[in-house]
Structure 1
Amino acid sequence: MMTCFRRLFFLILTLIISSSCSDTSTNNSAKGSYPESLVQLQENVLKYYVNLKAADRVIEDLLPNLEEDGSWSNIDYTNKIRGGWPVKNHLKYVQTLAINYKNETSKYYLDKNLSKKIHKSLNFWLDNDFLSTNWHDQHIGVPELLLPILFLMEEELSQQQLDKSSILLHRAKIKMSGQNKVWLSTNVMLRSLLLRKPDSVAIASKAIQNELQIAKGVGVKLDWSYHEHGAQMQFGNYGLSYLEDMIKCYTFVSNTPFKFEANKIEFLRNIILKGQQWVIWNDTYDVSASGRQLFENEQTKKANRLKACIQSMKMLDKDNAKVYNEALDAKTLAGNKHFWKSDFQVHRRKNFYFSVKMSSERVVGTESVNKENVQGYYLGDGVSLLSTTGKEYENIFPFWDWKKLPGTTIIQDKDPLPIIKFSGFKTNSVFVGGVSNGENGIAVMDYNRDGLKAKKSWFMFDDKIICLGSRISTNANHQVVTSINQSFLKGSVVIGKDGVLETSVRRKRGFTPDWVLHNNIGYLFPKGGNANLSTQILEGSWNKVAKRYRPVILTEHIFKLWLSHDAQPKNESYSYILVPNASEEKMKSLHKSNPFKIVNTKVQQSVVSSDEKKAGIVFYKKGTTTIKGGISVDAPCVILLEEKSGYLDFAISDPSQKLTKIGVSIKGNYSIENSNYKNGKTHFVIHLPQGEQAGKTVQLQFKRN
């Protein structure tokens, strides 16, 4: 009997001790001192968030809206909108209060009354566990906002608060890829830090750093563009968040056992210098690089976010401070870059910025998710944006005619635009891409969509962009137009024709100008064309762009210039030249001098400068051009030629990204490896990049013998 009693006694005692150890482990997991391996990491995290202090007046503006129950009077907690879920503002407000509460320079530093309000508002969220209809908020957004509050207020948190928080935090798990994986892994790393789990911190930190590599799927591509939601350029949406979070994590783990390796830091540097900095100019982020986020003031906000990233890298990667200083002065970057993985090309100089965004069977043009970018059906169809001030397209989206986007050739039917999902938006175009020698470039799009076909190309030579279109054809019984530009009206419009100037034009249809000038941008028409001009006051609403906005009607003067090709066009064509930083005198001179020789047919488009030092050819099929005395190719391709001192710079690419080699013949005797000279021509074969590098420019230098 005694033996049984003893056994029962020891069994109960064991269970009590086991239970006690378990509870103690739970309590110590987010209380007490940090393990030695986590001390510096915790200090880095706390310092990072404390340094995000807001002006005290922000706190003063927030507090009157805080209710007795811990809710905020200016938040509708029943809102279930998927994009930009406003209920998360609750946690943003609490975080702002907590940051100033822990910052010694704030008048609210360790203010007991503010502490009570923070706890009350934190408890309101923890007790209600508000949920949106978007998985992103539960797994990424809420933990991301909650974690800083917990670190800042950790010394004052009850076990009950920690337990309730833990439920919310454990929704984040390391999975997915690209920026989604970075978001989730960062949440897991900080949660593991809070729970004093060094092994889990190490796993999460490794998962984050593993995304700092060239991705075959979503993520950073070999040309330093960024893809998410398939083969879709997402520089300013996921790509910018990716850069910000990587720099944040770099800051967190500095001088800890989890710090970034040197090659990962170099990778971050290249993301900025070879990728992101190309799409910011004059404090404005390129619309075409922004993804679906066409929101109010978004181009300025994105530019500021990128500049903040560059500033942070300047402090963290101190040995390379000089290159970051140069990147902060965006006008120092001049040249041409073709992002062959994204069907996107940028051409920029000190006093202007130009980009062309295309799409193909390979590359998705854009998306509409969470009722954002609901008008953007044609945003990947050759949208060509030229800026000399950075303000030409700032907040223009409510007023845009979305079937006349700059640079596009589009059927003008009356049907509403389809809402695009990220999984399905591609044109039927195969021959889409470009060539670049670093200074100048050519973009080409053998357009094929919704029954409309057109061969479109952009020759970016120094300070001018020559835009060509040929074989524009469709059976659709609607007018087809090529939009040249659509921007805010600034000042008067001048039309030049046969030496006569027409000024202050408000509206004009079916005219044939020599040139048009508006807001220091000139439009030269070497072959005339059926031009149309409008400078009307237009009504618009942000609600037609993104449904998060209320349908408030706004008005603006909008400059629109386009070419008409009538209904059911067959083999129509166009040519115009964009001239940034133009004047009346400059346009008169250009019209008189005819600065380029242009060929614009269904099989070939080419441009040669008047001094014949620069030339570009788009071969839509194998053939011969008379340029440089005769150049022949045995397959479709794009070639850019520039006469340099002592040699000919030769750049070539395969926009289809399907060829392995191209045979080329050029008149004259040139010194080219593995070539042969016969019948007055040099014959050679270009072996093209394959795999992930398919579509990349091959650049060679030929010396004349």
Structure 2
Amino acid sequence: MKLYVTCFFILLITITLFSCVDSKVENNSVVSYPKDLTQLHKNVLNYFVNQRNDDDEIKQLLQNFQEDGSWSTIDYTNKIRGGWPVKKHLKYVQQFAINYKTKTSKYYLDKHLSKKIHKGLNYWLDNDFLSTNWHDQHIGVPELLLPTLFLIENELTKQQLNKATVLLHRARIKMSGQNKVWLATNVMLRSLLLRKPDSVAIASKAIQNELQIATGVGVKSDWSYHEHGAQLQFGNYGLSYLEDMIKCYTLVSNTSFQFDESKINFLRNIILKGQQWIIYNNIYDVSASGRQLFNNEQRKKAARLEICIQKMKNLDKKFSKEYDKAIDTKMLSGNKHFWKSDFQVHRTEDFYFSVKMSSKRVVGTESVNKENVQGYYLGDGVSILSTTGKEYENIFPFWDWKKLPGTTIIQDNKPLPIIKFSGFKTNSVFVGGVSNGKNGIAVLDYNRDGLKAKKSWFMFDDKIICLGSGISTNANHQVVTSINQSFLKGSVVIGKDGVLETSVRRKRGFTPDWILHDNIGYLFPKGGNANLSTQILEGSWNKVAKRYRPVILTEHIFKLWLSHGAQPKNASYRYILVPNASEEKMKSLHKNNPFKIMNTKVQQSVVSSDEKKAGFVFYKKGTTTIKEGISVDAPCVILLEEKLDYLDLAISDPSQKLTKIGVSVKGNYSIKNSNYKNGKTHFVIHLPQGEQAGKTVQLQLKRN
């Protein structure tokens, strides 16, 4: 008997000691799903587990975790509309759950971490924290809560699941565009969790239905993206749309709910014909970022897009080479005009340039949730030129928002109005561009707040010719055209009559031949009333988005602009942007004028010195006075390039109202339905209609 008791206690002690060696304990409770949901459930678990966090992050989160299930670093009373920080609680709990169920994590099935997951989950479920933004309750909270519920489903109590279900049911399939995708994804995953295959099918279908060219918000026929009306939203809603579509495509793969095979083609076009155009040197174009002008956001968006491209490379293996090229963000060269968004990009391996415009058709910008509170003029011809990608990275606290690069603006002392998302548009109608894939022209017949200006950008190879005419207003304030506003890097060189001036900090009212700063040259064919500043400026992120504290920062900023005086009548400007310039190059360009330019209220034209390239903006019907022989019977934009045995002609209607344009070209050419008379070839071009209105028509005119 003694021996039996002794052996029993030895065995008991051994078992106790063994159980204390490792706190990782397998939970034997089994989670079962109906047969038609089994693969989807498996996909969902695999997807979330693959989001594993670094164990050091979990360690840090544990240090700030409190006994009641909250985090000491979160202010739970905060109800700010934009970037609601209280949601971080659910994100942290989710991170716990992911590593808890990841076999390669040291926290895998750690019972101490399990207790904290439940405490954190209960803290939220018991308090049901609410912000003042509908988006958080219907989209954000369910989206963050669902992964945790799936990962620890075998440990959930009935009470936890019931409380969570109440929160999840706030998501309903409604709205359109990315808002609908967010909501429908929440509904699909909620329906999976509740074992409702019919609801899963409905939600999956709703998501797939957004993978098509939209007449309203969503993906447009030029592969740009709109949300909150006809507003370019590449990097805000558009990037989230791409991420979520790839996510949903992955989740429903090999299930009865999987996407139609054609949808992968659609996703490919979103990247290769849309998104990849607006990222350069791993920086996302500020003009394509929507209202999200946040600290380090341009680099974060670029990183998110790269992840999407990597995922698509695995899903769409036949096009892996194209995705590899897209990942190398400096490789893409050419010109693309997004006719649905009044936006044009011109780029090579050595530089990136974009013009963002707006019109009666296209909303220029928005300010929502106290974000982008200074962006009143962000859709008024903002011209971004970059050779490194860093010229404008995090520059927003220091920008003079009435001197945005490329814009012509009245310099009054009034605070900038706050633009809502309800659809503010300018009075401009003739806004758009033409592109032959290599070069292009953008035009903005500007009409806003009593200021009018004919503005155009001719993007020819490695130079951008910027023209303005008819600048007029009755406002008794200075009007300026801002050429650039970027971080100061190195010295500024001013060339005038063969004399170089360096180390200039500030200069007003001078007429330079050219200026060079940070490898970007500015050539002035006819001088101009130029102004330069390279001063240290104060700024604060709080002036850009109210989520930031009003901390004062300082930076050296390069500002260059032209003055047109107060109450200008028919003022004009012309300057040429020269990326990757040098002193020698600028001297040569000034000496050997590379272009013939005409700049009036009725026509703006640029012809290369060898006359092989030419561009024309006709604000009225008429005939060119340089490179004579081009006539049109309606306003339009034309791009010409001389080839060996033919003339390449690209034409568009920026107003998007015309059905056809009559054109006459000097010389005898072969083209369908044309006639040759009095030394000219006359023909009619029928223009795209509907969703294609404003798109370039490209023709080859063969010489006879």
TM-score, scaled relative to structure 2: 0.95
Counterpart for residue 411 of structure 2:
412
Q: C-alpha distance in 1, partners of 2:231/2:394? A: 23
Q: Tell me if structure 1 keeps the 8 A contact 2:598–2:626.
A: no
Q: Give the CA deviation at 1:331.
A: 1.8
Q: Secondary structure at the match of 2:57?
A: helix
Q: Secondary structure at the match of 1:465?
A: strand
Q: What's the Cα RMSD here?
A: 0.9
Q: Which amino acid aligns with 1:678?
A: K
Q: Give the CA deviation at 1:32.
A: 4.0
Counterpart for residue 287 of structure 1:
286
Q: Tell me if structure 1 keeps the 8 A contact 2:342–2:356.
A: yes
Counterpart for residue 116 of structure 1:
115
Q: Give the CA deviation at 1:621.
A: 0.3
Q: Tell me if structure 1 keeps the 8 A contact 2:462–2:579.
A: yes
Q: Secondary structure at the match of 1:331?
A: coil
Counterpart for residue 486 of structure 1:
485
Q: Which amino acid aligns with 1:419?
A: I
Q: C-alpha distance in 2, partners of 1:304/1:256? A: 30
Q: C-alpha distance in 2, partners of 1:236/1:645? A: 41
Map Cα deviations across residues 542-586 of structure 1 (whole Å, 9 max, x no partner). Answer: 000000000000000000000000100011000000000000001
Map Cα deviations across residues 475-495 of structure 1 (whole Å, 9 max, x no partner). Answer: 100000000000000000000
Counterpart for residue 252 of structure 2:
253
Q: Secondary structure at the match of 1:121?
A: helix
Name which of structure 1's ranges 197-206 and 528-537 shifts more when overlaid on structure 2: 197-206
Fraction of identical pairs, as percent: 86
Q: C-alpha distance in 2, partners of 1:230/1:611? A: 44
Q: Tell me if structure 1 keeps the 8 A contact 2:75–2:86.
A: yes
Q: Does 1:374 align with 2:397?
A: no
Q: C-alpha distance in 2, partners of 1:404/1:157? A: 57
Q: C-alpha distance in 2, partners of 1:322/1:259? A: 25
Counterpart for residue 320 of structure 1:
319
Q: Give the CA deviation at 1:31.
A: 8.1
Q: Which amino acid aligns with 2:267?
A: L
Q: Secondary structure at the match of 2:273?
A: helix
Counterpart for residue 626 of structure 1:
625
Q: Tell me if structure 2 keeps the 8 A contact 1:293–1:373.
A: yes
Name which of structure 1's ranges 48-57 and 516-525 shifts more when overlaid on structure 2: 48-57
Q: Secondary structure at the match of 1:629?
A: coil
Q: C-alpha distance in 1, partners of 2:589/2:364? A: 35
Q: Give the CA deviation at 1:186.
A: 0.3
Q: Tell me if structure 1 keeps the 8 A contact 2:228–2:423.
A: no
Give 1:134-533 correspondences, 5 Å limit.
134-533=133-532
Q: C-alpha distance in 2, partners of 1:667/1:53? A: 66
Q: Which amino acid aligns with 1:316?
A: L
Q: Tell me if structure 1 keeps the 8 A contact 2:31–2:153.
A: no
Q: C-alpha distance in 2, partners of 1:491/1:333? A: 28
Q: Which amino acid aligns with 2:358?
A: S
Q: Secondary structure at the match of 2:305?
A: helix
Q: Which amino acid aligns with 2:273?
A: K
Q: Give the CA deviation at 1:260.
A: 1.5
Q: C-alpha distance in 2, partners of 1:416/1:627? A: 43
Map Cα deviations across residues 191-211 of structure 1 (whole Å, 9 max, x no partner). Answer: 011111111111111110110
Q: Tell me if structure 2 keeps the 8 A contact 1:35–1:196.
A: yes
Q: C-alpha distance in 2, partners of 1:524/1:31? A: 73
Q: C-alpha distance in 2, partners of 1:593/1:680? A: 32
Q: C-alpha distance in 2, partners of 1:627/1:140? A: 57
Q: C-alpha distance in 2, partners of 1:513/1:205? A: 61
The ranges of structure 1 where at least 4 consecutive aligned residues each deviate by more than 2 angstroms after the TM superposition are 626-629
Q: Give the CA deviation at 1:128.
A: 0.6
Q: C-alpha distance in 2, partners of 1:106/1:150? A: 19
Consecutive unaligned residues of structure 1, counting only runs of 5 or more, are 1-29
Q: Give the CA deviation at 1:628.
A: 3.9
Q: Give the CA deviation at 1:627.
A: 4.0
Q: C-alpha distance in 1, partners of 2:321/2:391? A: 31
Q: C-alpha distance in 1, partners of 2:210/2:434? A: 29
Counterpart for residue 606 of structure 1:
605
Q: Tell me if structure 1 keeps the 8 A contact 2:607–2:627.
A: no
Q: Secondary structure at the match of 1:662?
A: strand
Q: Number of aligned pairs?
A: 676
Q: Give the CA deviation at 1:120.
A: 0.5
Q: Secondary structure at the match of 2:481?
A: strand
Q: C-alpha distance in 2, partners of 1:686/1:140? A: 48
Q: Secondary structure at the match of 2:330?
A: helix
Name which of structure 1's ranges 199-208 and 139-148 shifts more when overlaid on structure 2: 199-208
Counterpart for residue 675 of structure 1:
674
Q: Secondary structure at the match of 2:651?
A: strand
Q: Which amino acid aligns with 1:253?
A: V
Map Cα deviations across residues 21-65 of structure 1 (whole Å, 9 max, x no partner). Answer: xxxxxxxxx984111111111111111111111111101111121
Q: C-alpha distance in 1, partners of 2:272/2:55? A: 36
Q: C-alpha distance in 2, partners of 1:572/1:304? A: 43
Q: Secondary structure at the match of 1:354?
A: strand
Q: Does 1:584 align with 2:583?
A: yes
Q: C-alpha distance in 2, partners of 1:337/1:436? A: 6
Q: Which amino acid aligns with 2:450?
A: G
Q: Secondary structure at the match of 1:192?
A: helix
Q: Tell me if structure 2 keeps the 8 A contact 1:628–1:666.
A: no
Q: Tell me if structure 2 keeps the 8 A contact 1:406–1:485.
A: yes
Q: Give the CA deviation at 1:318.
A: 1.4
Q: Secondary structure at the match of 1:324?
A: helix
Q: C-alpha distance in 1, partners of 2:682/2:163? A: 74
Q: Give the CA deviation at 1:434.
A: 0.2
Counterpart for residue 595 of structure 2:
596
